[in-house]
Amino acid sequence: MQSSLLIVYLFFSVSVYTSVIRGKDGVDGGLSSDTTTCPEILPKIDNGDVSPASLKSNYTEGDRLLYTCRHGYTSLGKIIYVCNKNQWVNIRDAKCSLKRCELPADIPNAHFVLMNGTDFVFGNTIKYICNEGYKMGTRIDTRTCLAGGWSNHLPQCEEVSCLPPATEGNVIVDGFSDYSSRFRYGHRVQFACDSPALKLVGLKEVTCQANGEWNGPLPTCEGATCKLEKISAGVSVFGVPERNAPMNYGHKLEFYCSNAEMVLRGRSEVTCSTGGSWSSPFPTCEEITCMEEELYNVKIVRGIPGKVPPYKPTHTLQFQCTHSSMTMLGLPSIKCRSDGTWSSPYPTCSVLGACGPPPSIDFATLNSAPQENYKHGQQVQYTCSYFHTQEGNPRAVCHQGTWYTNLKCLQPCLVKTEDMHKNKIYSTYQKKTIYVYHGYHGSFVCDYGKWPKNDNTNFRPLCSNGVISLPRCI
């Protein structure tokens, strides 16, 4: 009985469902639907593509498209488009951007530059450039930002150095002894010949350049010879070889005037000396005259044959004080002698009076014991202290109660051991404290393992009245 009731119920249900899906006219209209679809032409993004797993033949409301970035690109979060109301919508607004590489590593003694682009992103390349004084020690000097990071290994910069200068046996190299095999960039060496009978041909100093080469050819030494220079009119010379051939080191020439009424100005003997130069300029012959001197409160009142120069031998001059109240010191009349000197110095005139003790001059001492009083015209002489350089006349003159002198004793430069140690240098003469005379150059080199602080470092500084600028090495 229960089975019969179940069959009746199922039949009734099917009949009701069938009537619902049929139209009013009794024709089957199928299932009704409001499904929304999206275009089959999918959105395109720069440098990205739809993931194959997201591809379908048609897309309905709520379907998703997942995009993946191409090689070398990446995104901040997933790029997803959703089908919403017949259109594709990017729900994250993400995009594919070039992958970034970490900040490039620095290497010692070099810097890098971007060869393309403005940032460290995929595809851009940097180039390492060695600092001055260094050269690239590896074959590759570039790195490119790839998807997995920077390509290539870090390059290396090596210090530039020059080989020891290969000179001839008679060439002395200064600044070489402390270097066993190579010289650093910027190092300077000086050259000289080992005998005064030789002269240096070429550069006196060369510098190790950034390319590892010396800045010029190395010099040689050859026999020093002197050439005969022009001989002035009226000068005769003894010792000139035949055909005016060059003269070797040590050769002497003797000069004299062929006219007895002329006097030789300069040295009568000149020697071929160091480097093929003459010991002094060739002399000249001039007409014998007496030199005009300074007048101190006197005037020339008469001269035979006249009061104005030139003053030739036998020429006489007579003097008179410029004021009657003055007293003349010296002879009122003098005569020019045959050797071009006066028979007596020019006289001076002064008001009666005396000078006190001579003035004190820095770094100078009197050659005689000082007195309380000195007469007009009296002189004293000074001597500069040891290592000091005399400038001016070493004498002081008492003139009308006042001392006159232009003497200066210029100070040497004291270079202490600690000063050299501080600047990482030492003197080529010795490693302890040294004195450098005023007007002379010191000579220094860098300590072993050090090099000049900059290109314009002067290793031969000039001493000027106690002041010298020492070079510095690092």
pLDDT digits (tens, 9 = 90+) for 199-223: 899 999 999 998 889 999 989 999 8
* Confidence label for 181 from pLDDT (cuts 50, 70 and 90): low
* Whole-number percent of the chain with pLDDT over 90: 59
- For the domain that residue 258 is a member of, what is the CATH number? 2.10.70.10
Burial-class residue 178 by CB neighbours within 10 Å (0-12, 13-18, 19+).
exposed
Q: Cα(first)–Cα(last) distance of the chain, in Å? A: 117
Per-residue confidence (pLDDT) for residue 170, from 0 to 100: 87
For residue 377, being part of any structural domain is answered with yes
| pLDDT confidence of residue 328 | 85
End-of-domain residue from the set 201, 223, 245: 223
Q: What is the mean pLDDT of residues 362-373?
A: 90
Q: In the structure, what pLDDT confidence band is assigned to residue 91 with cuts at 50, 70 and 90? A: confident
DSSP, res 215: S
Work out the average pLDDT over 437-456: 89
More reliable by pLDDT, 105 or 18: 105
CA dist 93 to 78, 81, 82, Å? 9, 9, 12
The pLDDT of residue 339 is 85
Calculate mean pLDDT across residues 434-445. Answer: 91
Q: Give the residue-averaged pLDDT of 59-77.
A: 93
| pTM listed for this prediction | 0.44
For residue 260, being part of any structural domain is answered with: yes
Instruction: Please tell me the predicted confidence (pLDDT) of residue 177.
Output: 55
Q: Which of 392, 410, 428 is the last residue of a domain?
A: 410
- Are residue 342 and residue 364 in the same domain, yes or no? no
Asked if residue 421 and residue 434 are part of one domain, the reply reads: yes
**351 or 34: which leads in pLDDT:** 351
Of 184, 205, 223, the residue that ends a domain is 223
Domain range for residue 230? 225-287
Asked if 255 and 278 sit in the same domain, the reply is: yes
3-state class (DSSP) for residue 419:
helix
Residues 218 and 229 in one domain: no
For residue 25, name the pLDDT band (cuts at 50, 70, 90).
Answer: very low
- Determine the pLDDT at residue 29: 36
Backbone angles phi, psi at 303, to 5 degrees: -145, 140
Which amino acid, one-letter code, is at 163? L
The candidate with the shortest Cα–Cα distance to 364, out of 331, 329, 388, is 388
322 and 338 co-located in one domain: yes
pLDDT digits (tens, 9 = 90+) for 283-327: 999 888 999 999 988 999 999 999 999 999 999 999 999 888 777
How many CB atoms are closer than 10 A to CB 148?
8
pLDDT at 24 over 80: no
Phi-psi region of 181 (alpha: psi -120 to 50; beta: other; left: phi over 0): alpha
Least trusted range by pLDDT, from 48-57, 151-160, 296-305, 425-434: 425-434
- Report in angstroms the alpha-carbon separations of 275 from 193, 269, 321, 442: 9, 18, 54, 21
In a domain, 44, yes or no: yes
Domain presence at residue 16: no
In a domain, 30, yes or no: no
CATH number at residue 307: 2.10.70
Q: Mark whether 231 and 191 lie in a shared domain.
A: no
Q: Is the pLDDT of residue 92 over 90?
A: no
Same domain, 171 and 185: yes
Separation between Cα atoms, residue 44 and residue 51, nearest integer Å: 12
Cα–Cα distance, 56 to 40 (Å, whole number): 9
Choose between 260 and 220: higher pLDDT: 220
In a domain, 141, yes or no: yes
Percentage of the chain with pLDDT > 70? 90
Q: What is the pLDDT of residue 107?
A: 94
Examine residue 13 and state whether it is found in any structural domain, yes or no.
no
pLDDT on residue 317: 97
pLDDT of residue 20: 32
Domain identity same for 146 and 168: no
In the predicted model, what is the mean pLDDT of residues 342-367? Answer: 87
pLDDT range class, residue 151, cuts 50, 70, 90:
very high
| Mean pLDDT, range 128-139, rounded to an integer | 93
pLDDT above 70 for 193: yes
Helix (H, G, I), strand (E, B) or coil at 20: helix
- Region 407-422: mean pLDDT is 92
Contacts 24+ apart (CB under 8 A), 32-38: 35/60, 35/61, 36/60, 36/61, 36/83, 36/85, 36/86, 37/61, 37/83, 37/86, 38/63, 38/83, 38/86, 38/87, 38/88
- Name the domain count of the chain: 7
Q: Are 462 and 410 in contact (CB under 8 A)?
A: no
Tokens of 216: 């010029």
Instruction: Judge whether residue 13 has pLDDT over 60.
Output: no
- 193 and 142 share one domain: no
- Sign of torsion, CA 350 351 356 359? negative
Lowest mean pLDDT of 53-57, 124-128, 252-256, name the range. Answer: 53-57
Query: Is the torsion defined by CA of 357, 327, 395, 344 positive or negative?
Result: negative
Q: Which two tokens stand for residue 260?
A: 């007895």
In a domain, 472, yes or no: yes
**What pLDDT does 3 receive?**
40
CA distance linking residue 81 with residue 88, whole number of Å: 6
Q: 229 and 216 share a domain?
A: no
